[in-house]
Structure 1
């Protein structure tokens, strides 16, 4: 791969929160319904790091029944979750005097079903961007933390995302998940590009930082601001030099 002209040759997309609607919307609704502080469930989801039930499920290490039991237990570990949430508040200089729950009854099965239902709705502007990129000669891949036999994963190869991507790279198949740099490099190898030739879109900061550390050009996709991300991608291509005159 002897080239160093600074051009973009590939674009890699996260799925949930980028190509389809964000499952975090369902989490926020669930928190409001159950009078939980904002981002409480997200903090509980991430507090165990790479060893949490959600993370294990995304790597294909446990099946659904084991996952949902473990995750429900983790979501209802009130003392641990409250401690993690206090740290979250302190890091962000938020109201550390917030009243936290004394007990919870979070149903992991119900919450997960809501997340997956929402994540079947495409973001139309992203779908059109993918099609435009491929018409213009760019290689396009999905790089998704997903689950074996879940609704979105199953649909991705047929109804929902059929034919959109040159490569569809799944954590549950590869056994790696973002933000592990090996997962990004696996996608680059499939696309036959260097990280420095890749624009990477995601909605999660840690995933974007990992991509940037590898030399990729990160674009954050915020809820309700998908069109801004589309413009950012086209702006980077214009700045770096297009492979095709169609901008």
Structure 2
């Protein structure tokens, strides 16, 4: 029996930043996937991880990401140039599914995010949309608590906040590394590739008609 549906934000309720990463790399002549490979290398303690836990400021992130990308792929990618690429477009069909699910189940959002204004101050646009965030019963943001996915503690915090059993939860994320801890806790997991696929799997998991 499903009690709650827990969502990632970027790449789930919004389009994936990976397309923007690839376009940026092509335009600059950088090695293919240098941004994603830099994000993935030493993924628990790299510049990205530290920034999402609010352990470093934007200037330090800019410098460290450049150093890491240079060491990894031979191309210096400034962190300050990567941040605006994170801002995706809302997927209206996913937001509609969230609203429908919220009428029947508890909802939560676990997001690896960045310190306040890290993106908005540079792109003129916030990474999060207030009208969507208020739809959740509970939201956990990595930069506010100093923990980030895939640390198992952040999933346990959500389950406790919602007052549900992990085995009765569905969790959606676009990254497999973030789905693993949820699956190990007993959650039903959905790796989001696109909206149509995610909604189809959500319908199967919840028994609701969402399309």
The TM-score normalised by the length of structure 2 is 0.89
| Shift in alpha-carbon separation, 1:189–1:154, aligned structure 2, 3 A | farther
Structure 1 residue 167, shift from structure 2 partner: 0.8
Partner of 2:26: 32
Query: Quick check: 1:72 aligned with 2:66?
Result: yes
The TM-score normalised by the length of structure 1 is 0.76
Structure 1 residue 114, shift from structure 2 partner: 2.3
Structure 1 residue 40, shift from structure 2 partner: 2.7
Which of 195, 208, 211 is 1:226 aligned to?
A: 195
Q: Would the aligned equivalents of 2:66 and 2:79 in 1 still touch at CA under 8 Å?
A: yes
Give CA-to-partner distance per residue, 1:151-188, whole Å, 9 cap, x none. 47966373x52422111110111211111111111011
Query: Quick check: 1:46 aligned with 2:13?
Result: no
Query: Quick check: 1:163 aligned with 2:120?
Result: no
Query: Quick check: 1:114 aligned with 2:50?
Result: no
Q: Secondary structure at the match of 1:111?
A: helix
Partner of 2:96: 128
Q: Secondary structure at the match of 1:156?
A: coil
Alpha-carbon separation, structure 1, partners of 2:78 and 2:110: 28
Root mean square deviation, CA, Å = 2.1
Query: Quick check: 1:176 aligned with 2:147?
Result: yes
Q: Would the aligned equivalents of 1:75 and 1:108 in 2 still touch at CA under 8 Å?
A: no
Give CA-to-partner distance per residue, 1:7-43, whole Å, 9 cap, x none. 0010010011001121222111122223344323211
Which of 100, 104, 111 is 1:144 aligned to?
A: 111
Q: Would the aligned equivalents of 1:72 and 1:109 in 2 still touch at CA under 8 Å?
A: no
Alpha-carbon separation, structure 2, partners of 1:49 and 1:134: 32
Q: Secondary structure at the match of 1:45?
A: helix
| Shift in alpha-carbon separation, 1:164–1:19, aligned structure 2, 3 A | same
Which consecutive unaligned segments of at least 5 residues does structure 1 have?
Answer: 1-6, 83-102
Query: Quick check: 1:235 aligned with 2:204?
Result: yes
| Shift in alpha-carbon separation, 1:140–1:61, aligned structure 2, 3 A | same
Give CA-to-partner distance per residue, 1:53-97, whole Å, 9 cap, x none. 1000101111112111211221121xxx14xxxxxxxxxxxxxxx
Q: Secondary structure at the match of 1:161?
A: helix
60-69 vs 182-191, which moves further? 60-69
Q: Secondary structure at the match of 1:54?
A: helix
Give CA-to-partner distance per residue, 1:207-231, whole Å, 9 cap, x none. 1122111111000101xx2111111
